[in-house]
Amino acid sequence: MEALEAIRQTRIVPVVTFHKPESILPTFGAMLSGKLPVAEITFRTEFAAEAIKLGAMTFPDMAVGAGTVTRASQAEAAIECGAKFIVSPGYSEQVHDICIGADIPYIPGCVTPTEIMNVLDHGIELIKFFPSEQYGGLKTIKALSAAFPQVTFMPTGGINESNLIEYLSNPRVVACGGSFMMSGSYDDIAAKCANAVGLVNSLK
């Protein structure tokens, strides 16, 4: 399934940071057993590229993407390893160009009207609103939506089981990103993913 379609359907993008290589496969396994086949693997540790490669190879039906991509070299490494989408905390024209060249979606972070106008000029209409809670959460998303009717949002940062439904109830919110389901044992991760999927399904 195309990555954006997977994100639109699951409506949750787990933000996953690996601190040791031996946790990569069991973590993907736990996410899949919780029926959450999307992962944004952050370039915050040295294991990101390896995790993307292993995940993409072992679970081809999973939409494995890269997050916290701030440099062109990270985008290149992620795509080389099989990343199906790229997320950045802000907008990088270099990263965007690499995504265009590879024909994969780029979801950059934006919080201000000027930042949004800049990405609209570059043909991007789905943005990561990050860090969401710190920048006013839904209240800010609603105000920005009025000015930018073409923009849709993937808020990330401070989202968890208690505010997920409220965010996802907003028609302009395509999906929410977050790490809230990624802590604890592998069983905990599977259970938290399943619970998050259940919350999404309760909106259908």
* List 53, 84, 128, 192, catalytic entry: 128
Q: Which is nearer to ligand 3PG, 19 or 121 (CB)?
A: 19
What x-and-dash track marks residues 119-158 binding ligand 3PG by CB under 6 A? -----------x-------------------------xxx
* Whether residue 131 has a cis bond before it, omega within 30° of 0: yes
Strands (E), the chain: 12-16, 38-42, 63-67, 86-87, 106-107, 126-129, 152-155, 176-178
Query: For residues 40 and 31, is the Cβ–Cβ distance under 8 A?
Result: no
Q: Which is nearer to ligand 3PG, 130 or 167 (CB)?
A: 130
Of 96-104, 117-125, 140-148, 173-181: span binding ligand 3PG (CB under 6 A): 173-181
Size of the site for ligand 3PG (CB under 6 A): 13
Q: Can you tell me the distance from the alpha carbon of 52 to that of 10, in angstroms, rounded to the nearest whole number?
A: 19
Residue 178 near ligand 3PG by CB under 6 A: yes
Q: Which is nearer to ligand 3PG, 64 or 159 (CB)?
A: 159
Query: For residues 138 and 112, is the Cβ–Cβ distance under 8 A?
Result: no
Q: Which residues contact 196 (CB under 8 A, 6 or more apart)?
A: 12, 34, 36, 161, 164, 180, 181
Active site residue 166: no
Catalytic amino acids? 40, 128
Residues that bind ligand 3PG (CB under 6 A): 15, 42, 67-68, 130, 156-159, 177-180
